[in-house]
Amino acid sequence: MDPLTIGLLAGLIGLALGSFGVLAFGLSDRQRRRLQEVAEPTLPDGAAEVLSVVGRAYVVVDAIDGVVRASPAAYAFGLVRGHTMVHSELLGLTARVRRDGVIEERQLELPRGPLGQGTIVVQVRVAPIGEEYILLLADDRTEITRTEAMRNDFVANVSHELKTPVGAISLLAEAIDDAADDAEAVRRFAGRMHKEARRLGALVQDIIELSRLQGADVVQGGTEVDLNAVVAEAVDRNKLTAESRHIELSVGGNIGVPVYGDAELLTTALRNLIDNAIRYAPERSKVGVGLRVREGLATVSVTDQGPGITPDQQDRIFERFYRLDDARSRQTGGTGLGLSIVKHVISQHGGEVSVWSQPGQGSTFTVRLPEMEQEDGGATESVEPRTQGAGVAHEQGVGA
């Protein structure tokens, strides 16, 4: 075969191979695009638009529980990671809905993160959409559930606390009736009745105060507040109690910047804080109140020379109705609500209250509030306290 014929045959074979390659590539590309289209599921018409305005966390899964679409909130709640729903409880719900075709609704408490630290309470509603998808709607109920539990505990505690003075007054009234002919006994029982009545009145007043605090809106109703005047008023309201126990109230320092908030609420908080110090301080001792400004925070410290608080108790003293010593509280007329009121008020003002204490060395409670922003943007000058006596006994201990 001559070279010309061989060259012609080689050219034809090359052309055929090239055409076949182009055809194969085209078929492969069409098949790949078809597979991609199948692998990318689509929602029924209008479903995506509805989900975008539903206002709740949502997850859409396919027939094998693969996540087709999920809202940012679903990822934030820890319901979805990548393209997978992570909680077996949710997968169980989707399986039942897929099997029965019936809408399921549950309230579940689920781990929030991959390490299982912290939980989230969600109200979940699972329903079929179209023929192959399952929709899961989730509403965060964590805060509502916590608030309801606190409310129930509070009602139970109030009922228990009210029983004691009411029961005591009832028994004392019967005792007075039985001892009508004994003037000395009547006077003794009447004195105890007055004490229980005062305790009942204080408890009711604190409950009313807590109720009022729940509805207070410091952000909307706040004004410029002079903490020096607030402290002076709080001290004045405790003078009679201090004098009855021969306790000296010592005030030192100055706060040269205003804070933003409700003056009456702040007075109530500091009155309770000073009252608490007086109740636990030994007779003929001193309670110190120190004022100063440091690093943009207005600070009020209240120090007593009482028995002190153990570390395990320090974590609980701001709880409602928690008492360090029930017998002492009954003796002094404490309600167990004073420090919880303090914490609530200070938190509403964007501040914090802390305690430093050691058994046998007294206690210092420190309130810190952010100073009010000045319109001229200038820096405010810090004023060091000039507290005397017990007022600075533990100032460094609290890091004020």
Residue-wise pLDDT tens for the chain (400 aa)?
555 565 556 555 655 555 655 555 565 556 555 544 444 456 666 666 777 777 788 999 998 999 988 888 888 888 888 888 888 899 999 999 999 989 999 998 888 655 445 678 889 999 998 778 999 999 888 878 776 776 666 666 666 667 777 888 888 888 888 888 888 888 888 888 887 887 787 777 767 766 666 555 555 567 899 999 999 999 999 998 899 889 999 999 999 999 988 898 899 899 989 998 998 889 989 999 999 998 889 999 999 988 888 887 877 777 766 655 544 445 544 556 778 888 888 888 888 999 998 888 889 999 999 887 655 444 443 333 333 333 333 333 333 3
List beta partners, residue 370: 297
Read off the DSSP letter of residue 40: S
Residues 196 and 302 in one domain: no
Separation CA 91–CA 61 (nearest Å): 10
Instruction: Answer whether 370's CB lies under 8 Å from 241's CB.
Output: no
Q: Tell whether 177 is covered by a domain.
A: yes
Same domain, 279 and 343: yes
Among 140, 167, 185, the domain-final residue is 140
User: By residue range, what is the domain housing residue 118?
Assistant: 50-140
Same domain, 341 and 386: yes
In this structure, are 198 and 226 located in the same domain?
A: no
Domain boundary among 96, 113, 140: 140
Instruction: Tell whether 345 and 262 lie within a shared domain.
Output: yes
Q: Are residues 233 and 208 in the same domain?
A: no
Q: How many domains does the chain have?
A: 3
Asked whether residue 320 is assigned to any structural domain, the reply reads yes
Q: Can you tell me the distance from the alpha carbon of 289 to that of 310, in angstroms, rounded to the nearest whole number?
A: 22
Could you tell me the sign of the dihedral formed by the alpha carbons of 154, 341, 247, 307, in that order? positive
* Contact by Cβ (8 Å): 228, 254: yes
Q: How far apart are CA 160 and CA 322, in angstroms?
A: 13
- Domain stop point among 215, 245, 277: 215
Q: Is 92 domain-assigned? A: yes
Is the same domain home to 242 and 360? yes
Q: Do 369 and 319 sit in the same domain of this protein?
A: yes
CATH code, domain with 173: 1.10.287.130
Count the alpha carbons within 13 Å of 260 in the hemisphere toward its beta carbon.
15
Contact predicate 110/76, CB 8 Å: no
Report d(CA 59, CA 75) in Å as an integer.
9
**Within this chain, do residues 86 and 210 fall inside the same structural domain, yes or no?**
no
Q: Is the separation of the CB atoms in 364 and 290 below 8 Å? A: no
Detail the DSSP E strand segments found in 71-225. Answer: 80-81, 84-85, 104-111, 119-129, 133-140, 223-225
Q: Is the dihedral of CA 240, 241, 244, 249 positive or negative?
A: negative
> In the Cβ-directed half-sphere of 221, how many Cα atoms lie within 13 Å?
10
Residues 191 and 274 in one domain: no
